[in-house]
Amino acid sequence: MDLSKHAFFEGKIVPLSDAKINIATHGFLYGTAVFSGMRAYWNEEKKRLFVFRPFDHYHRLLNSARMMSMEVPYDEESLIQLTLDVLKADDWKQDVYLRPTIYKSDMGIGVRLHDLKDEFSLFVMAFEKYVKNDSNAHLTFSSWRRIDDNAIPARGKVAGAYANSALIKTDANRAGFDEAIVLDQNGHVSEGSAMNIFMVRDGVLITPPITDNILEGITRRSIIELARSELGLEVVERSIDRTEVFIAEEMFMTGTAAQVVAVTKIDHRPVGTGSMGPITAKLREVFDNIVHAKNPKYKQWNLEVG
Ligand code: PMP
């Protein structure tokens, strides 16, 4: 794995090799950490790196922290500034993935959220594809259920909750599938292990609402907006039943790491024609252009690393 040479740790930029936490740290012992996954894309023509929607990522990170009773002395703007500093400390000329984390940093035993200190950390890594078959993914229904918002905040990114995602992903991969669709406690489609889900029925784009235990995905939000404004599609946020996915015309998953993954088979049944549909293909193209800062109409989503 090609990791950054520098990181932000305990209030300053340090060599990544010095950004170490003790094994007695609360966030490590209990999963009391929240994080985000952001990307910065390399624009070959402009010879510049552009961070995609950093304000939205940091806004969600601070909301996740709020749900977990965490406090850090940063707002979205100061987090963006230190992110630019970390990116500039290394000389990236390729697409990268950024992992900001806020964690309970005290050492010792005692499961709780209160009376504990919090720290912010950030490192960067080179990143290409997250799902290998991203133009023809084969999914299964996971036998695991998505964490319920009444157990762990599902709309935010809480590190401990990713034990659920890890179980989902490993069982799907070991059974020979690329990813899994996860149902919530009510039996509705929620999302994948680290991706939101969309399907097309009768030309309408449908995705589960944020009240169906999904992560409030930033790619999801971007795709909803682009489907409406660039493709003129009707987009509906509503619960999706299990069997609806078998009769969908198209299906895809979205995420910062995954980007837009075309789903062409579910439990050995073809989705639509069994190959990537036209709406999925168009959205992938539009999205890829925008994240690489090639569409000036959406330049407010691209933060240039000067
Ligand atoms: N759901 C889960 C559980 C995730 O971990 C992710 C990845 N952050 C997503 C959905 C997609 O969210 P985003 O588009 O903000 O990356």
Alpha helix stretches (DSSP H) within 68-190: 76-89, 162-174
CA-nearest of 14, 61, 38, 195 to 125 is: 38
Q: What is the largest CA-CA distance in the chain?
A: 56
Give the whole-angstrom CA distance, residue 6 versus residue 17: 8
Residue 13: pLDDT band by 50, 70, 90 thresholds?
very high
Which of these, 113, 19, 30, lies nearest to 65 by C-alpha position? 113
Residue ID of nearest Cα to ligand 1 atom 4: 194
CA distance 197 to 272: 16
Q: Report the nearest-CA residue for atom 12 of ligand 1.
A: 217
Burial of 269 (0-12, 13-18, 19+ CB in 10 A): exposed
φ, ψ dihedrals at 251, nearest 5°: -150, 145
Helix (H, G, I), strand (E, B) or coil at 143: strand
Q: Is 89 within 8 Å of 13 (Cβ atoms)?
A: yes
* Residue 215 alpha carbon, nearest atom of ligand 1: 1
Ligand 1 centre distance from Cα of residue 173 (Å):
18
Domain regions of the chain by residue span? 6-126, 137-291
Pick the CATH number of 6-126 from 3.30.70.980, 3.40.50.150, 3.30.465.10, 3.30.470.10: 3.30.470.10
Crossing angle between the packed helical segments 54-67 and 76-89, to the nearest 10 degrees? 120
Nearest atom of ligand 1 to the alpha carbon of 220: 14
Q: Which atom of ligand 1 is nearest to the CA of 222?
A: 14
Query: Quick one: which of 232, 234, 225, 229 has its CA closest to 201?
Result: 234
- Count of CB atoms situated within 10 Å of the CB of 130: 17
Tokens at 103, concatenated: 């964690």
With contact defined as beta carbons under 8 Å apart, do 34 and 156 qualify?
A: yes
Query: Which of 104, 157, 169, 265 is labelled catalytic?
Result: 157
Q: How far is the CA of 109 from the centre of ligand 1 (A)?
A: 30
As given in the structure block, the two tokens for residue 189 are 């489609």
> In a mutational test of the pocket of ligand 1, which residue from 60, 158, 196, 222 has the highest number of ligand atoms less than 8 Å from its CB?
196
pLDDT of residue 129: 85
- Structure tokens given for 129: 């594809």
157 is catalytic: yes
SS (H, E, C) 93-125: CCCEEEEEEEEECCECCCCCCCCCCEEEEEEEE
Is the pLDDT reported for residue 1 higher than 80?
A: no
**Ligand 1-lining residues (CB < 6 angstroms):** 37, 165, 191, 194-196, 215, 217-220, 254-256
Cβ neighbours of residue 232 closer than 8 Å, sequence gap 6 or more? none
* 65-107 confidence digits (pLDDT tens): 999 999 999 999 999 999 999 999 998 999 999 999 999 999 9
0.95 exceeded by pTM: yes
CA-nearest residue for atom 6, ligand 1, is 194
- 137-291 folds as D-amino Acid Aminotransferase; Chain A, domain 2 (3.20.10)
Per-residue model confidence (pLDDT) at position 229:
98
Residue 71 CA, ligand 1 centroid: distance in Å = 23
Asked if the model's pLDDT at residue 182 lies above 90, the reply is yes
* DSSP three-state, residue 79: helix
Arithmetic mean of pLDDT, 215-227 = 98
| Ligand 1 atom closest to Cα of residue 57 | 15
- Residue bearing the CA closest to ligand 1, atom 10: 195
Residue of 81, 89, 97, 116 whose CA lies nearest to 18: 89
Confidence of residue 306 (pLDDT cuts 50, 70, 90): confident
Chain centroid to CA 50: how far? 17
